[in-house]
Amino acid sequence: MSKKVILCCCFVAALAFVLTVAVQPAHAIKPFSDEFSAKYVKQDSKEKKDQDFAKLVAEAKCNVCHTGKSKKDRNPYGVELAKLLDKATDKDNKEKIQDVLSKVEKLPSDAKDKKSPTFGDLIKAGKLPGGESAEKKEG
């Protein structure tokens, strides 16, 4: 085989690898996800509402904050969290993550409608704070 054929094959293989890695579904930042669960998910609760919410969060995974296939696509809840948290500098700061979760839970779930339920109201009602798009598990 000539060097050109080998180089071409290597290039195609590398391109295929990069495209495969680049087209992954959205992933939650694990420490952010863990702190969300620590704050809102009651794993040991005997109440059906708490058990249902825990199951909903477990099924939604990254879609608690994200929507679609790119980790850059956020639902309204994820948009508000991203304004206050930086994945690079805040992922190890549990106190800040908890503080931001507390702040964002007080915000209206629809930024255009100040009378909409807060993110915290949705969570208390056993719904995902990102709304229906999060519940559909698009990513």
- Whether pLDDT at 20 is above 70: no
The one-letter code for the residue type at 127 is K
pLDDT reading at 16 higher than 70? no
pLDDT at 43 over 70: yes
- The pTM assigned to this predicted structure is 0.73
Q: Find, among 35, 18, 12, 36, the residue nearest to 92 by Cα.
A: 35
Beta bridge partners, 74, equal 66
The DSSP string of the chain is --HHHHHHHHHHHHHHHHHHHHTPPP---HHHHHHHHHHH--TT---HHHHHHHHHHHHHGGGGTB-SSSTT-B-HHHHHHHHH--HHHHTT-HHHHHHHHHHHTTSBSSTT-TTSPBHHHHHHTT--TT-HHHHTT--
pLDDT tens across 94-125, in order?
999 999 999 999 999 999 999 999 999 999 99
Which pLDDT score, from 0 to 100, does residue 24 have? Answer: 40
Structure confidence by residue, pLDDT tens digits, 63-80: 999 998 888 899 999 999
Flag whether pLDDT at 8 surpasses 80: no
pLDDT at 52 over 50: yes
Confidence of residue 5 (pLDDT cuts 50, 70, 90): low
